Structure 1
């Protein structure tokens, strides 16, 4: 693995210094502590040296990146951006760096959370002179540039004093929990837990599956809303499903207005976990762990144990492994629907193996219900993406009457078909329609994709009964007629509601997509 690829798989703490956002590998961060009103004086003269921090008897030199000489500063003109005396107010924090058991402090304005970038760009100079910034990457949630601090170069700066780590304790460090923008202890990332508040509940989640922390999540209503899924939010040029961990674990529900969030990495995409507030990151080295009793709550399998954090109380630990195996959340993670100008989370054609989904699915499969002349259901695993009807598309003047046109989506030309015309039922206004992107390869391989235009989206539902005698039209298997006319009646119920089940036909959109390419329809199909 290349150095850049290795760095791209690293989780970084994000810190603001002046107008710059700096990323530091969590493995190089010992702790983050509030800055005192006054730093101690050190009898040393080094670029950017502000003084020393007395941290539980350990003297730690503190640097300010914005006060370093121009060839090492983050700013183009080398100006500090701070007036004398304002570099260490209580609102700022000090990041204590640890490398080869040596300590060095770095003052920053605020903490922006953590993230794992998809890719990095190396930085350098034509003359080969060292920089304090080794790489850069773009922060998906803001589009801003993050400069990756070269921690080894920081410790190698001439004239900058460093100190040897003394008898490190494994408990929590610092003070001021709950202050906005403060993270009190980070640890090495291997045994790090993110502590959060969800309404009145305090939860802990392993940092290993955290893609990034979102400081503000604006939840919008979506047809994906069901059960613990509260809708979608914008992240990195895409609409990402948002879920409520309290509803998932049977602990109540959250008010999703002006909330924060954590993007969780699943195999096929991201899902945002809604929360009220990020509290801190801790290392679990000496944190007491207590087992949960055998309680009867619907989401007990998503609760692992209780962490007793000294001075901060008890936190319920979410069972991340069980969350990642949740059928609905896995299905939602595949629906990271990109905006037209966004960078896709997953390219068309890079679809999950349908056989794998079949093996992993439970008895009651998850279905998307929609309307195309009548309500019907399709296995959610068959739907690659859900899009609003495109504003621009090329109308095909010649060709088969059921082909609506073509549109370009994420560097792929997608043919559009009105499902209503295939079924020969009345059309609906296109501007209020949706497009279900399905693969022509039902096995989830490298087949083409087609867009099927439907009237409306209903909900994500579970099957509670299926007809053991599916309807068969008598047409040859693989034909469009068979794909449209062969179906199974089933009874479905919306997830997480008390609504009565209803009877719907289950359609096979993958079979329809396979039969449409190449298109070979000689006569209208009636139903």
Structure 2
């Protein structure tokens, strides 16, 4: 992908930078790479406002310019600053920057052109970040490289002969390099919708090992997925989450949780080395491995395979519109009007997050029993007798793929009867009983129609009472039917000869798919 340098009718991919207390952007077509800036730069026999010196970069002796000084805003140097290699007209120049804040795709029509009567501007347009609303100024690489007295050098960063002696026609790719815990990954910039420097993560009904919560983006709640869990490489520690990479999967967005964004690099396609399929847990979404100067080895993610991953597309299909979006207060009838119109009543309850269920599905609400008869079946807390029936007591949170909830003072049982077979779901607490005030029968939910509402991903969103939130509507009877149709767990056989380990059912045998 080679976007144009300036505004156009198509989408342009920009590198987002922070420099001189300004948020600026540079088209990726003009951004060659980003490298750490040493505190001491080599001297140059030239003088110009903001010229700091030169940086040795492979075959280049690269002049480095501080735009803050050019604009009359000099600031002290800091160890963490970087040099952005900017290109225009076959020449390159290094620009001092405080940090790289990721990349972003911007439609051409979203750019607002900037000019003055006398000219001399160092930026050509402005835009607002499509996800955060932050204002950015688009640097004019040609204007910066054409500043009086500022030396530039010939651009050989994309000269095929400068990398490994390759001949003409070498294909190159621009990669976003990022860190996720102890791992470094790279992904084609063209497959990245945008980045979030510091995502504000919140818990959600989707929260589990794979999904770490949700974040507000583009007027909706977007699931945040742990890449390490997705790739079978472990889990990202909460304290390691410091950035987000947003993917557009068509039905919606998904954000990948990251530790930090590292660099944008331009490399020959041949530098991405294939990895043996047996050596990685998810070879279907890994394109290979790459050695990046100054960083080391990176696993290269296969962008198209990532966008087609069933787990990610499932999360993308359940983006939740924020209340400031399609559902407006004026569109929601009052509680009195809902009751007068015969709206059904719903029970609002919690399993760590709030859910709703039709009240007519709950035959009784019981206190949590003082004693249960254990059965050693995962997901089944035990059995209890009630009204001359042996009733299984189930942890609803565990069945829906969430962490098992401890029994507390407010824990109670929702008794659901399906074809004469009662089942009791343990929940953390009851919230309220209220009428349905809004639902959208056309909303897209994941899964077959027969299982609508039997899992968190297939649950439609509704509003009840005066609560402004959109809450998942769970079909408790469908959950019970799916559970009753599950085959009984097989007994664990005795150990085989010579101490062979016994077979055991999969650890997830007692958990319904979410």
Q: TM-score range by the shorter chain?
A: 0.5 to 0.7
Write the mapping of 1:327-342 to structure 2, written as runs, cut at 5 A: 327-341=310-324
Q: Which residue of 1 aligns with 2:28?
A: 26
Distance 1:47-1:309 versus aligned 2 partners, 3 A rule: closer
Distance in 1, Cα, partners of 2:513 & 2:306: 30
Aligned counterparts of 2:202 and 2:150: Cα–Cα separation in 1? 50
1:429 to 432, 448, 453: 432
**How does 1:239-254 map onto structure 2 within 5 Å?**
239-254=221-236
Structure 1 gap ranges (5+)? 74-78, 174-187, 349-386, 406-417, 443-449, 468-488, 505-527
Please give the alpha-carbon distance, in whole angstroms, between the structure 2 residues aligned to 1:503 and 1:275: 26
1:295 aligns with 2:278: yes
Instruction: Select which of 184, 195, 214 maps to 1:213.
Output: 195
Q: Where does residue 510 of structure 2 map in the other structure?
A: 500
Structure 1 residue aligned with 2:89: 100
Q: 1:334 to 1:44 in 2, by over 3 A?
A: same
Deviations 1:225-261 (A, max 9, x none): 3552222123355321011222222222222335032
Q: TM-score, normalised by structure 2?
A: 0.61
Does the 8 A contact of 2:249 with 2:313 survive in 1?
Answer: yes
Decide whether the 8 Å contact of 2:115 with 2:124 is kept in 1: no
Question: Corresponding residue for 1:13?
Answer: 15
**Cα separation, 2, equivalents of 1:297 and 1:464:** 35
51-60 vs 25-34, greater mean Cα deviation: 51-60
Distance 2:210 2:316 in 1: 14
Write the deviation string for residues 144-198 of structure 1: whole angstroms up to 9, x where unpaired.
Answer: 311110112223334433332358677999xxxxxxxxxxxxxx99612233333
Displacement of 1:104 in angstroms is 1.8
CA separation in 2, counterparts of 1:162 and 1:143?
Answer: 34
- Match in the other structure for 1:191: 173
Q: How does 1:227-306 map to 2 (within 5 A)?
A: 228-259=210-241, 260-285=243-268, 288-295=271-278, 299-306=282-289
Q: CA 1:432 to 1:41, structure 2 compared with 1: closer, same or farther past 3 Å?
A: farther
Call closer, same or farther: CA 1:268–1:5 in 2, change over 3 Å. farther
Deviation of 1:20 after TM superposition, in Å, equals 0.6
| Partner SS for 2:278 | coil
* Matches of 2:279 and 2:58, distance apart in 1: 44
Alignment correspondent of 2:136: 146
* CA deviation after TM superposition for structure 1 residue 420, in Å: 3.6
Shift of 1:282: 2.5
Map residues 52-131 of structure 1 onto 2, 5 A cutoff: 52-56=54-58, 58-68=60-70, 73=71, 79-82=72-75, 86=76, 88-118=77-107, 120-125=110-115, 127=117, 129-131=119-121
Match of residue 206 from structure 2: 224
Cα displacement (A) at 1:324: 1.4
Give how far 1:441 is off.
10
- What displacement does 1:218 show? 4.2
Q: Structure 1 3/26 Cα, relative in aligned 2: closer, same or farther at 3 Å? A: closer
**Which of residues 402, 411, 414 in structure 1 aligns to 2:342?**
402
2:401 alignment counterpart: none
Task: Return the alpha-carbon distance in structure 2 between the equivalents of residues 290 and 229 of structure 1.
Answer: 30
1:67-116 deviation per Cα after TM superposition (whole angstroms, max 9, x unaligned):
33xxxx4xxxxx3143xxx3x55432222212232122222222222222
Question: Max radius of gyration: which structure?
Answer: 2
Is the contact between residue 123 and residue 133 of structure 1 (CA under 8 Å) also seen in structure 2?
A: no
What is the CA deviation profile of residues 41-73 of structure 1, one whole-angstrom value per residue up to 9, with x for unaligned ones? 5455544444444444634333322233xxxx4
Q: Which runs of 5 or more structure 2 residues have no equivalent in the other structure?
A: 164-169, 346-355, 365-429, 446-459, 466-470, 488-505
Query: Of 103, 107, 122, which aligns to 1:132?
Result: 122
Q: 2: distance between equivalents of 1:339 and 1:452?
A: 12
Number of residues of Structure 1 aligned to a counterpart in Structure 2: 390
Structure 1 residues 503 and 210: alpha-carbon distance in aligned structure 2, compared to 1, 3 A threshold: closer
CA contact (8 A) 2:220 2:321 kept: yes
Q: Sort the Cα spacing of 1:404 and 1:396 in 2 relative to 1 into closer, same or farther, 3 A.
A: farther
| Counterparts of residues 370-409 of structure 1 (less than 5 Å) | 393-395=332-334, 401-403=341-343
Deviation string, structure 1 residues 319-376 (Cα, Å, up to 9, x no partner):
22222122332232233324344xx6xxx5xxxxxxxxxxxxxxxxxxxxxxxxxxxx
User: For 1:116-150, what per-residue CA distance to the aligned partner results, in whole angstroms no more than 9, with x for missing partners?
Assistant: 23563323346263522211122355543111101
- Indicate the residue corresponding to 1:511 in structure 2: none
CA contact (8 A) 1:304 1:318 kept: yes
SS in 2 for 1:254: coil
Contact 1:224 1:231 in 2 (8 A): yes
Distance 1:142 1:464 in 2: 38
